[in-house]
Amino acid sequence: MRLRSFIVRDMAEAMTLVRREMGPDAIIVTTRATEGGNLEVRAAVEAKPDGGAELDPDAASRGPLAAAGLEPESLGRIGAILSAHGVEGEMADSLGRAADSLDEDSPVAALALALETRFRFRPVSAALDGAVVLIGPAGAGKTSAAAKLAARAALNGESARLVCADWARAAAPDQLRRYAEATRAAFDVAEDLDALARIVDGAGEDEFVIVDAPAANLYDRRDVAAMVDLIDAAGADPVLVIDSGMAREEASMLARRAGELGASRAIASKLDAVRGRGALVSLARPGGLAYAQFSATPYLGGGFAPATPLRLARFLLEDPSGGETDLVWEEETAA
**DSSP conformation letters of 24-51:** TT-EEEEEEE-TTS-EEEEEEEPPPPTT
With pLDDT > 90 as the criterion, what percentage of the chain qualifies?
39
> Between helices 89-100 and 107-118, what is the axis angle to 10°?
120
**Which structural domains are found in the chain, ordered by start?**
2-45 (3.30.70), 53-118+309-335 (no CATH), 131-307 (3.40.50.300)
262 backbone φψ class: left, alpha, beta (φ>0; ψ -120 to 50) = left
Higher pLDDT, 60 or 118: 118
Helices (H), the chain: 11-22, 78-84, 89-100, 107-118, 142-155, 172-183, 193-201, 221-234, 248-260, 278-282, 309-316
Phi/psi of residue 62, each to 5°? Answer: -85, -10
Residue 36, number of CB atoms within 10 A of its CB: 7
Q: What is the mean pLDDT of residues 109-117?
A: 87
| Confidence at 332, pLDDT banded by 50, 70, 90 | very low
| pLDDT tens profile 31-68 | 677 766 777 877 766 554 443 333 333 433 334 343 43
* Per-residue pLDDT band at 5 (split at 50, 70, 90): confident
pTM for the full predicted model: 0.74
Looking at the predicted structure, is the pLDDT value of residue 321 above 90?
no
Instruction: Report the C-alpha gap between 204 and 216 in whole angstroms.
Output: 29
Closest by CA to 148, choosing from 132, 170, 166, is 132
Which tens digit of pLDDT belongs to each residue from 216-255?
999 999 999 999 999 999 999 999 999 998 988 999 999 9
Q: What DSSP state is assigned to residue 215?
A: P
Q: What is the mean pLDDT of residues 107-130?
A: 88
